[in-house]
Structure 1
């Protein structure tokens, strides 16, 4: 797709009752980050919430718990040689990977003080989408953000199978960031990190699961986008999208507070 800037966003691919859906195609992480912040400012001021769908070139992002990337297991020089950026971002969680074949879903939604409830709804929408894609054992894992499938034995050790990572930041009562769902992701790139700092976890994808289960299917990014959009519309049907009155009041400029040129 052509270069996308906050002032030249594509038209929504869908308008649900409560939010718009924008498909950014494949976009570098920094560019999508700028778009997130642009839309976040608008939603925090009362504009319609937006669900962003995007794929990124390979990048590692460090959340607030990342401790300077101690769960990256290769050198920064090696990553640079592979063309993989490392960026510190404002979401929660540790280190995670984004790259081709992964559907990244940024929910720029009002949250207020309901952060835990919002995270559960993100998980619910992801689980519902995976069920519709034929992975009926998709489930949350209590105590851990994200979505998992049934554990597998690996050389005598039970390993949790994680298919989606979830991390958000909330500013001005409005969320940034969201979900990284592995569709046909290059899973060997996760060997560069300890995903989310979890030692007993193996990353998986829709395509890997189709292959291991002998389903004879090819994972489709378009199908995944449609499934996530439908699931979000369902899970957030009765969600309170209103912002606190105090937040909207703070977002409105007041003449008496305008800086003087004098």
Structure 2
């Protein structure tokens, strides 16, 4: 734990934003935090400055992203057809996980946290992100859970009513205990886009959304407010008032 640990988090709501633009902003904030950590190493304890934490909320125009451990063959159509036929883009990115889809109506969260401010345990970090989404879905009367070996949040994890259905994908990168990327919760997402991929490389399970499960669309800002509340409680965060 840092001598100057900082649990304050700057929450930024970016709205509908191009994937590349959001990625660039993540990289900028990530570099700011890492550079402060490196600078602190050269300073005495009295001169060190707390490292910042950020939480970005947004949604993206249609885009497919493939993580470093992913397999390109899980994109089921020719990459050149994505833009012309489906209005989508494609990115290979430095995060865990396989291929996934982002699009309008999906709540995307990018926590850029210095885990030295909280705890240095990536496994615990991932499980708390999942727990945050599980608690949010419970607010809407949905019982969600985890599946061993498959990061993310699922409905029907016991398989009693057909295949399990993935409602939230997760993939993160961490360097020097600073995190990037995060989670994508299907709220009002057009699920037909998932027909063009093997989501997260998993062939025997389905994909769903909050709107499909509830039978009506849910305001994205309402879901974001619940996610933020649960995240702040689980991580014992403090909101930076702006």
Shorter-chain TM band: 0.7 to 0.9
Q: Runs in 1 of length 4+ with deviation above 3 angstroms? A: 151-154
1:186 alignment partner in structure 2: 190
Provide the C-alpha distance between the structure 2 equivalents of 1:141 and 1:153, rounded to a whole number of angstroms.
11
- Tell me whether 1:35 sits opposite 2:20 in the alignment: no
Q: Over residues 184-236 of structure 1, what are the superposed CA-to-partner deviations in whole Å (9 max), with x where a residue is unaligned?
A: 0000000010000001111100000002xxxxx43110111111110111111
Q: Larger RCO: Structure 1 or Structure 2 (Cα < 8 Å, ≥ 6 residues apart)? A: 2
Contact 2:51–2:114, Cα closer than 8 Å, also in 1: no
1:216-227 aligned at under 5 Å gives the runs 217-227=216-226
- Distance (whole Å) between structure 2 residues aligned to residue 168 and residue 88 of structure 1: 13
CA distance in structure 2 between the partners assigned to 1:132 and 1:110 by the alignment:
29
Shift of 1:152: 9.2
Structure 2 distance, partners of 1:151, 1:158, is: 10
Counterpart of 2:32 in 1: which secondary structure?
Answer: helix
Question: May I ask how many residue pairs the two structures share in their alignment?
Answer: 215
Cα-Cα RMSD? 2.1
- Asked whether 1:163 is paired with 2:167, we answer yes
**Aligned-pair distance for 1:80?**
2.3
Where in structure 1 are there 5+ consecutive unaligned residues?
1-15, 212-216, 240-262
Normalised by the length of structure 2, the TM-score is 0.83
- Structure 2 residue aligned with 1:109, among 110, 113, 116? 113
Q: TM-score, normalised by structure 1?
A: 0.77
SS across alignment from 2:231: helix
